[in-house]
Every structure is written in structure tokens, then in C-alpha cells.
Chain A
Amino acid sequence: MPNMINRIIRQIQRYKGWFGGGAALCIFLGLYIGLLASPPDYYQGELVRIMYVHVPLAHTSTLAYSVLFFGSIWYLWKRDPLVDNMCQASASICALFTALALITGSIWAKPTWNTWWTWDPRLVSFTVLLLILGGYIMLRRLVDDRVQGGRYAAILAIVGGIDLPIIKFSVEWWRTLHQPMSFSTRGVSISEDILVPLTLMSIGCWLLFAYMVMVRTQILYLTDLLHAKKGRFLSQTHFSQTTS
């Protein structure tokens, strides 16, 4: 039981190629339909196509942070180094997705809202997510002791988790320029033609995130392994030199 998550991660890692392939398929189909085979919006025209990249990037970044959040709790509880690696991997990938979501959002905002940036609650809370991730990554880079660094970083990630519900509900709790959620208890306010590429790109981004996390976790694992073995090798040669 204690190694359940560890076993699951190792099991899924075997099939990461399928995640990568699935992501490529969904994203290419989504890009094709999104750019060529879907109609423009009645109000925004061609600009609605930016939504097919912006929205999937944005909610994949919140998904990535959720993985980081729950992984950090699990790590503090069970001290499983594999889960720690996975957290570190999700954090850097989450930072990339968050930055891209902010950039594409800004590109979308200029021609629709008439501004690149404004102090809207949704925009501010999302930028705070990027700052939290920046702090997390810095902390991990700077603490040499993996165990200690992992513990500090996990605490940081859990505290930063407060931002997730703020991001999600910022458009419902406060007055914003950002439009409210399109999927809610009111129903779905996106017509089918526009929903198809959006769904494809969303699934594609989730799969891509899963694939990227798995590859990055593997990189961290292999790097650790290489360092550990090299360390032992160096100490062995040092030992043999001094004794002979």
C-alpha cells in the first residue's frame, strides 16, 4: 500500500509513448479544424481561433498545478523521491503553460478588449501563479540538498495552492473584464462547431502535459542515477589512488 502511487507512476511510465502519440494526433487534428475547418465567430470573427490555443493552455496549467499540489502533499507524507521528481517536473512544465496562456491571452485581449494588459482579477491571479512557480523553481535550483529542498518546495507548493480556487472563481466572485466561464451550471455557451476544435485541443494539451511530465520525471531520475553512480565511481578511484 505505501508504494501504491510509486507503482502506478512506474506502470504508466511504460506507456508514455502512447500519451505522446495521442497528444500529437489530437493537437494536429485540433489545429487543422481550428485554423481551417471551423467557422468564424459571429462577434469576434477570426479572432475566436485564438481561444483554441489560449483556453486549453490555461486550464492545462491549472491541471499541472493540481498535480504539483497533490504530489507535494503525498511527498510530505510518504517521502517518495519519485513523487518529488514528478512534482519538480510538473512545476517547470506548469510554468511554461502558464506563461504561454498569459502571452496568448494578451494577444487575444488586444484586438478584442482593446488592451494588452489590465488589472483584472483573473489576469492578476493567473500572473501570481507564474510568480509562485518562479519561486518554486528558484528554491529547487538553489538548495543543493535534494531531500531538504524537496521538503521546502513541497510546503511552498501547498501554500501556493490557495491561488487555484481564486483563479477558477475570480470571474464569478468579482467584477471582471474577462468573460465568465463558458461551462457552468447555466449550461454550455459554446456552439458545436466551435466546441469541436476546443475539445480536441484541450484533450491534446492534457495528453501532452502528461507526456511531458513523464519524460521530465525520467530525465530527473536518470540524472540522479548518473550522479549517484559517478559519485561512487569517483570516490572509488580516489580510494584506490590513496591506498596504492
Chain B
Amino acid sequence: MTGLYSRWAVILGATLLLAILTYQHYQQHLSTLSMKTLLSSPPESQPVRIQGMVKSGTLQGDVEHGQATFEFVDGAATLAVEYQGPPLENIRELKTLVLIGRWDSQARIFRAHDTALINNFGFVAAAYLISVMALGWMVFAMSQRVMVLFKEIKESKLYEPEADSLGHKE
């Protein structure tokens, strides 16, 4: 009986560890700064990631050679952006994406040097959580049921398990 629960404690522990590692990975490498935070307390010199949409009708410059200026919208906030980096087709009007760069508070321009695809990690987390929890719970409930059945059979003294793989406890 303790065997079953200690085995599941290990599985639960490993799952939690994985969840914590994933969360940290997300925080360090994928999370973005909101434009409000960027404008009110701009971080010193470090490049930041901001998410928004390229405003329609504002994209100018030569994207194919990696140079562009445009307005970047996130809800009510709007930023002027000067992009200089690898030529990417990700920069197009009405596209939501992540910009990596620095905020120039004197010129009030966000100087971006790279882009990334939006990280909508909520969907990924939802899919993993639902699958892992449903499967984990089902397997756990089944193992517990086997244990209960063996106990019942033993207590009822009705039946001595046969020398058979199905009637045997592992």
C-alpha cells in the first residue's frame, strides 16, 4: 500500500519540478514587458521584450533589408519604433509580435534589433495541464482500485488468489 503512494509521490514531485522549471524558463526567456511599465519605469540599458501589433498604415522603410519604422500598439498605448535588424517577414501591418530592443527615453523611440513570435504560452500550458492531469488522475484511480480490490478479496476470505498473473499482486 505504501508502495503505491510513494511511487505516486515521486511522480507528483517530478511533475511539479517540471512545472516550476517551465515557469522559470518562461519568466526568463519568454515573458514580455507591458508598454505601460516600459514607459513609467524603463529598465536600464538591458534589452527588453514588448508585445504589440504593428499599426495599420504606419509601416515605412525597407523591411526586406531589415530597416523599418512603424507604430506599435498594445491596447491604448502606442510606441514609435525604429527597427534595425535581420530582414524578417514577421514585420508586417496588423501582425502581433514581440520586439526585442531598448527604450530611448530622450528621443521617445523604441529601438528594436530583433523580433520573436508571440509566446501565447497560456494555450500551451492549458493543453499540457489538461492532458497530464486527466491521464495522471485516471492511472492513479485505477491503481488504487486494484489495491482496494485485492484488499476486499483478502478480507472477505472468499478467495485465495490463484497462481496466475491476473490474480497476482505485482
Q: Touch between A and B in complex, CB under 8 Å?
A: yes
CB distance from B108 to the nearest CB of A (A): 29
Of B38-46, B58-66, B70-78, B143-151, the one contacting chain A is B143-151
**Chain B residues closer than 8 Å to A36, beta-carbon distance:** 21-22, 25
The reply on B167 being an interface residue by CB < 8 A is: yes
The reply on B134 being an interface residue by CB < 8 A is: yes
User: Do the beta carbons of A45 and B116 come within 8 Å of each other?
Assistant: yes
* Whole-angstrom CA separation of A57 from B132 in the bound complex: 11
User: Do the beta carbons of A31 and B127 come within 8 Å of each other?
Assistant: no
- Chain B: CB-nearest residue to A99: B134
The reply on B2 being an interface residue by CB < 8 A is: no
Of B79-87, B99-107, B152-160, the one contacting chain A is B152-160
CB distance from B45 to the nearest CB of A (A): 27
The reply on B27 being an interface residue by CB < 8 A is: no
User: Do the beta carbons of B127 and A50 come within 8 Å of each other?
Assistant: yes
- With beta carbons under 8 angstroms apart, the residue of B11, B150, B156, B170 that contacts A24 is B11
User: Do the beta carbons of B149 and A222 come within 8 Å of each other?
Assistant: yes
Say yes or no: A54-B127 contact (C-beta < 8 A), given A13-B165, A46-B121, A208-B135. Answer: yes
User: Do the beta carbons of B165 and A14 come within 8 Å of each other?
Assistant: yes
The reply on A28 being an interface residue by CB < 8 A is: yes
* Whole-angstrom CA separation of A145 from B80 in the bound complex: 74
User: Do the beta carbons of A53 and B127 come within 8 Å of each other?
Assistant: yes
A201-240 Cβ-contact flags toward B at 8 Å (1 or 0) = 0000000100110011111011101100110010000000
The reply on A199 being an interface residue by CB < 8 A is: no
- Chain B: CB-nearest residue to A31: B18
User: Do the beta carbons of B120 and A46 come within 8 Å of each other?
Assistant: yes
Instruction: Tell me whether chain A's interface is mostly helix, strand or loop, or mixed.
Output: helix
* Whole-angstrom CA separation of A221 from B134 in the bound complex: 24
The reply on A134 being an interface residue by CB < 8 A is: no
Which of B118, B142, B143, B156 counts the most chain A CB atoms within 10 A? B142
Say yes or no: A110-B165 contact (C-beta < 8 A), given A208-B135, A208-B139, A226-B152. Answer: no
Which of A31, A57, A96 counts the most chain B CB atoms within 10 A? A31
Say yes or no: A107-B126 contact (C-beta < 8 A), given A35-B18, A212-B139. Answer: yes
CB distance from A26 to the nearest CB of B (A): 13
CB distance from A208 to the nearest CB of B (A): 7
**Chain B residues closer than 8 Å to A28, beta-carbon distance:** 14, 18
* Whole-angstrom CA separation of A49 from B134 in the bound complex: 18
The reply on A40 being an interface residue by CB < 8 A is: yes
- Chain B: CB-nearest residue to A219: B145
The reply on B166 being an interface residue by CB < 8 A is: yes
**Chain B residues closer than 8 Å to A17, beta-carbon distance:** 170
Additional A-B contact list (12), CB under 8 Å, known A35-B18, A45-B119: A44-B117, A53-B128, A82-B166, A107-B127, A108-B127, A110-B123, A212-B138, A221-B167, A222-B166, A226-B159, A233-B156, A233-B158
- List 13 interface pairs A-B (beta carbons < 8 Å), by A numbering: A10-B164, A32-B18, A35-B128, A40-B117, A46-B124, A100-B130, A103-B130, A215-B139, A222-B153, A225-B167, A226-B153, A226-B156, A229-B153
Interface residues, chain B, with chain A CB atoms under 8 Å away? 11, 14, 18, 21-22, 25, 30, 116-121, 123-124, 126-128, 130-132, 134-135, 138-139, 142-143, 145-146, 149-150, 152-153, 156, 158-159, 164-168, 170
